[in-house]
């Protein structure tokens, strides 16, 4: 078994972290193109942050359960790869991603207060390829259906790649399969800067 | 959202199935047969028999359980090492054939553990 902080372990941990971020960004894109799943699950997140905070917890039980069970699934895969390769970096990457998700969630939500995120009028972030800041992702809360994708939590490049893939990818989404307007994010389609 | 796609009853079923699979693996090992596939099949069947829902994410959890239980059975019955040090060295014992068998065990656990043996089964939707 390699050391937890050996170069090989840290490299694998970084790779797992990046892959997890991609998985989260893609699933975030997919849930926004699945009207049924959006209504019963993720839409709650946007409704919550676009209302006054009024003493609500920044991280409630529902969100903690979502982050924790998603991270547990990542940990499952990481633990098996670690078992079969002797590299604990697979587990380390999954754990670090979990901590990052919780920390990022709490940090970005500092905008949420008695003035809702939407009322604060956060302007659109620059369409960049660098790291996704908390301010960058916070824009997504107030503008969930904006053509400028801000789903990513770590590397904004995943959003740029999703924007490039979107015209092709959108045909495979649940909305498109259900015959709904799967391309409602297209600029000029009325989807931009629309309320949750 | 519960991404595990499972309830305590189905996970208990998988756990009992995996434990039974380990015992079967141990008996077969005494006869000279090394078949970790039993662990995956039994874990999957234990789960599928105890739930009325089908769910792919639950299959992944059962697959993980089968991987660790299969490795534990190998450590105890084949390598004959103490459990934790043996698990830490499990990867050193993975010949290509053994890797194939353990991988098949995991895949079968995922496949069977995602399903339900009950006639009235229905798909569990994430978030429901």
Q: Look at residue B7 in the predicted model and tell me its pLDDT.
A: 83
- Give pLDDT tens digits for A104-145: 888 777 777 888 777 887 788 889 999 988 788 888 888 888
A69/B61 touch (CB, cutoff 8 Å), yes or no: no
**Tokens found for residue B88:** 């830490």
What is the 8-class DSSP label of residue B123?
E
> Environment class of residue B122 by beta-carbon count within 10 Å: exposed (0-12), middle (13-18) or buried (19+)?
exposed
Nearest Cα to Cα of residue B8 among B70, B50, B69: B50
Tell whether A178 lies on the interface with B, counting CB pairs under 8 A: no
pLDDT at A188 over 50: no
Please, which residues have CB within 8 angstroms of residue A126's CB and are 6 or more apart in sequence? Answer: none
Report yes or no: A52 and A116 within 8 Å, Cβ to Cβ: yes
Mark yes or no for CB contact B102/A37 under 8 Å. no
Residues of B in contact with A85 (CB under 8 A): 91
Interface with B, mutate which of A28, A30, A77, A83 (most B CBs under 10 A): A83
| pLDDT tens per residue across span B64-109 | 999 999 999 999 999 999 999 999 999 999 999 999 999 999 999 9
Tokens of A5: 């902080």
A36 has pLDDT over 80 = yes
Grade residue A184 by pLDDT with cuts at 50, 70 and 90. low
CA A77 to chain centre: 19
CA nearest A69 in B: which residue? Answer: B3
Say yes or no to pLDDT of B20 above 50.
yes
Query: pTM of the entire structure?
Result: 0.86
Residue A142's contacts (CB-CB under 8 Å, 6 or more residues apart) are A49, A50, A116, A117, A118, A120, A121, A122
Q: b/e map of A19-37 (b: 16 or more CB within 10 Å)?
A: bbbbebbbbbbbbbbbbeb
ipTM: 0.92
Q: Residue written as tokens 């190998």? A: B74
Which residues in chain A touch residue B86, judged by CB atoms under 8 angstroms apart? none
Q: Quick one: residue A86, left, alpha or beta (phi over 0 = left, psi -120 to 50 = alpha)?
A: left
**Angle value at C-alpha B12, between B81 and B16, nearest 5 degrees:** 45
Spatial contact of A94 and A32, defined as CB atoms under 8 Å apart: no
Per residue in B39-65, pLDDT (tens digit) is 999 999 999 999 998 999 999 999 999
Tell me which of A62-71, A90-99, A174-183, B65-74 is least confident.
A174-183
Banded pLDDT at A190 (limits 50, 70, 90):
very low
Closest partner CB to A83 (pick from B1, B57, B71):
B71
């Amino acid at each position: 078994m390699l050391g937890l902080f050996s170069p090989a372990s840290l490299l694998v941990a970084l790779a797992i972290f990046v892959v997890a971020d991609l998985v989260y960004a893609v699933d975030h894109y997919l849930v926004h193109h699945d009207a049924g799943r959006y209504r019963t699950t993720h839409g709650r997140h946007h409704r919550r942050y676009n209302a006054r905070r009024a003493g609500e917890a920044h991280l409630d039980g529902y969100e903690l359960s979502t982050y924790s069970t998603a991270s547990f699934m990542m940990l499952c895969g990481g633990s098996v790869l670690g078992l079969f390769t002797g590299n604990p970096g697979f587990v380390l990457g999954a754990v670090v991603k979990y901590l990052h998700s919780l920390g990022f969630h709490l940090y970005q939500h500092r905008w949420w207060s008695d003035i809702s995120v939407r009322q604060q009028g956060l302007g659109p972030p620059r369409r960049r390829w660098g790291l996704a800041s908390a301010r960058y992702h916070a824009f997504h809360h107030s503008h969930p259906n904006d053509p400028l994708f801000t789903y990513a939590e770590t590397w904004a490049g995943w959003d740029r790649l999703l924007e490039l893939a979107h015209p092709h990818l959108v045909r495979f989404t649940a909305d498109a399969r259900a015959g709904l307007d799967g391309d409602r994010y297209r600029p000029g389609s009325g989807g931009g800067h629309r309320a949750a | 959202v519960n991404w595990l796609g499972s309830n305590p009853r189905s996970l208990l079923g998988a756990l009992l199935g995996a434990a039974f699979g380990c015992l079967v693996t141990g008996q077969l090992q005494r006869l000279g047969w090394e078949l970790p596939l039993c662990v995956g099949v039994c874990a999957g069947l234990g789960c599928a028999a105890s739930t009325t829902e089908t769910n792919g994410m639950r299959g992944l959890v059962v697959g993980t359980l089968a991987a660790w239980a299969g490795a534990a059975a190998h450590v105890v019955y084949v390598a004959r090492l103490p459990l934790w040090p043996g698990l830490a060295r499990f990867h050193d014992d993975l010949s290509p054939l053994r890797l194939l068998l353990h991988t098949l065990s995991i895949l079968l656990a995922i496949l069977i553990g995602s399903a339900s043996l009950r006639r009235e089964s229905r798909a569990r939707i994430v978030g429901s």
